[in-house]
Amino acid sequence: MLENFSFRTIVEYLPLFGQGLVTTVWLSALSFVGALVVGIVLCAMNLQRGWLFRAPAKAYIDAVRATPLLAQLYFLYFGLPRVGFVLPELVVGILALSLNSGAYIAEIIRAGILSIPRGQVEASVASGMTYAQRMRLVVLPQAFKVTIPPLLGQAIVLVKDSALLSLISVAELTRAGQLLASDRFMPAEGFLTIAAFYLLLYYGLKGLAVVSSRWLGSAGARA
Amino acid sequence: MTANPKGPANMTQPNPTKTGMIDFRGVNKWFGALNVLKDITLSVKPREVVVVCGPSGSGKSTLIRCINGLETIRDGDLVVDGQRVGDPATNMTQLRTEIGFVFQSFNLYPHKTALENVTLAPIHVRKIPRAEAEHAGRELLAKVGLADKVNAYPAQLSGGQQQRVAIARCLGMRPKIMLFDEPTSALDPEMISEVLDVMVAVAEEGMTMMVVTHEMGFARKVAQRVVFMDAGAIVESGTPDEFFSHPKTDRSRAFLSKILRH
Ligand SMILES: Nc1ncnc2c1ncn2[C@@H]1O[C@H](COP(=O)(O)OP(=O)(O)O)[C@@H](O)[C@H]1O
Ligand SMILES: [Mg+2]
């Protein structure tokens, strides 16, 4: 197979891969922002005492974690038009990734908040802080630090998951590989190239994780 | 001061006849089926220092944690600084600003320096201007012997130093009452006295204090009263000398023989 591996075709298709890469990057970025919003809202609901907010949040998180992303994507892609929402594929894709990753992010943030020792919360209660002050001044600044590494891990998962959007014909990176594979019957060239690009994105995010942990490490206490 | 013992009798509070800064009247508390506080009646006067002792699990922590509402009581009355704890009409957040609480495990904020630990609540809860709060914070840290540790993080401090910061953190709120829950129990022996010295100084300035501790030296030096608890009830109460030299009950004698042995 390698003797007829065509680098020329890859070079020829490079602009298409470039466009796919750019699309993957910005739609992943948008989805991640969306997922953060979804995650924060779900986590806030999940931390309430009463079950009125907690039960639906838990049910949602379980449902997302228990079902394949592909099923969720098709559920939105085919389901939304039937209830009257006809949205572009790209929007459906970003929505699906946000709603999916949001469930995982909710749990990451919750773990971060629960990692703050109870004694510190008691100390802030005892000093007369309100719930909001406690969160803002004591809990969240510390929870933020411990959530950065797992959040970047989730970002890496999200980038890889975005490949599924090729199935609803969003012109992202994997779609570019598919086009090369089917137009020229060169699946090896097509998918090897996109693998290389995904690796690039992976190292980019990993580098970010290293830099941020170094920055966070020097920006505060060690405990 | 609203807690003047000879204050006017026509106060708007539900208990106009109060005389104490902290008044337990027939307080009961349960954890599930466990009756952790049994019919507690105890009054602490302004400027009084009361030491609470008793075996582990006897309810000492629970007793003082009820005072600032870290635990809730099931029945009876608990009136602190003229306000009924747990009453919907009582602003607990406001009441807590008048009550400092020192924990066995310090519970400093690890992401804040010593000075920031001391100024956080004064700035955000008391709304004292930052510059003023920092000035007061530096003075307080100097007072507890930590002028050179103003910018240190808790992880860089010894246990004794952390506990002194924790005391300064409470004093920064200018509280009327200070509660201590075994403040020296988590410390290495050589650090106990530096913390007790600070507590003695606070007591000598006239602070109303309830201190859960087995440190007899501290009790003899500054306490007006020692309260002995066992199995959720106050079994005995008296001056430090009465209690330590002439315990009246078998249970207190048994307890004292244990803490005196080491
Ligand atoms: N949050 C809780 N839930 C259930 N039981 C508790 C809780 N806190 C304390 N207890 C129980 O209440 C009793 C009194 O505890 P505590 O007030 O901590 O005693 P002390 O401070 O005298 O050692 C103990 O038997 C303890 O196990
Ligand atoms: Mg205790």
pLDDT at B154: 97
CA A87 to chain centre: 21
Residue B171: the pLDDT is 97
- Residue with the bigger pLDDT between B160 and A179: it is B160
Task: State how far the Cα of B257 lies from the Cα of B188, in Å rounded to an integer.
Answer: 22
B239 touches B226 (CB < 8 A): yes
Is the reported ipTM for this assembly greater than 0.90?
Answer: no
Q: Is the pLDDT of residue A106 over 80?
A: yes
pLDDT at A35 over 60: yes
Which pLDDT score, from 0 to 100, does residue A4 have? Answer: 74
Find out whether B73 and B248 touch, Cβ atoms under 8 Å. Answer: no
CB B169 within 8 A of CB B118: yes
**How many Å apart are CA A221 and CA B156, to the nearest integer?**
9
B31 ligand 1 Cβ < 6 A: yes
Over residues A36-57, the pLDDT tens digits come to 999 999 999 999 888 999 999 9
Which of the four pLDDT bands, split at 50, 70 and 90, describes residue A149? confident
pLDDT at position A217: 66
Per-residue pLDDT tens digits for B156-175: 999 999 999 999 999 999 99
Contacts 24+ apart (CB under 8 A), A112-120: A112/A143, A112/A144, A112/A146, A112/A147, A113/A43, A113/A47, A113/A139, A113/A140, A113/A143, A115/A142, A115/A143, A115/A146, A116/A142, A116/A143, A117/B107, A119/B103, A119/B105, A119/B107, A120/B107, A120/B108, A120/B109, A120/B110
Q: What pLDDT score does A223 carry?
A: 37
Beta-bridge mates of residue B75? B28
* Distance, CA of B191 to CA of B165 (rounded, Å): 14
User: What is the pTM (predicted TM-score) of this model?
Assistant: 0.83
User: Could you tell me if residue B82 is left (phi over 0), alpha (psi between -120 and 50 degrees) or otherwise beta?
Assistant: left
Q: Which ligand is in closest contact with the Cα of B34?
A: 1
B34 to chain A, closest Cα gap in Å: 23
Supply the pLDDT for residue A49: 85
Q: B98-143: per-residue pLDDT in tens?
A: 999 999 999 999 999 999 999 999 999 999 999 999 999 999 999 9
Contact yes or no for B170 and A127 at CB 8 A: yes
Q: Which residue has the tokens 């469930």?
A: A103
Instruction: For an interface test with A, give the residue of B105, B109, B151 to mutate (most A CBs within 10 A).
Output: B109
Q: A45-97 pLDDT, tens per residue?
A: 999 888 999 999 999 999 999 999 999 999 999 999 998 888 999 999 999 99
Q: For residue A119, report the distance from its CA to the centre of ligand 2, in Å.
A: 13
3-state secondary structure (DSSP) of residue B52: strand
**Per-residue pLDDT at B157:** 97
Residue A218: pLDDT band (50, 70, 90) is low
Q: 3-state DSSP call for residue B121?
A: helix
Which of B97, B156, B166 is closest, CB to CB, to A128? B97
Low-confidence ranges of chain B (pLDDT < 70): 1-19, 261-262
- Which pLDDT value is given to residue A144? 85
CA B196 to chain A, closest CA, distance in angstroms equals 20
B125 vs A120, A128, A145: nearest CB: A128
Residues in chain B, total = 262
| A143 contacts on B by Cβ (under 8 Å) | none
pLDDT at A146: 87
Alpha helices, H only, B125-177: 130-143, 159-171
Is the pLDDT at A222 greater than 80, yes or no? Answer: no
Q: Measured between alpha carbons, how far is B222 from B178 in angstroms, rounded to an integer?
A: 14
Q: Band of the pLDDT at A215, cuts 50, 70, 90?
A: confident
Cβ-defined contact of A222 to B153 (cutoff 8 Å): yes
B234 beta partners: B229
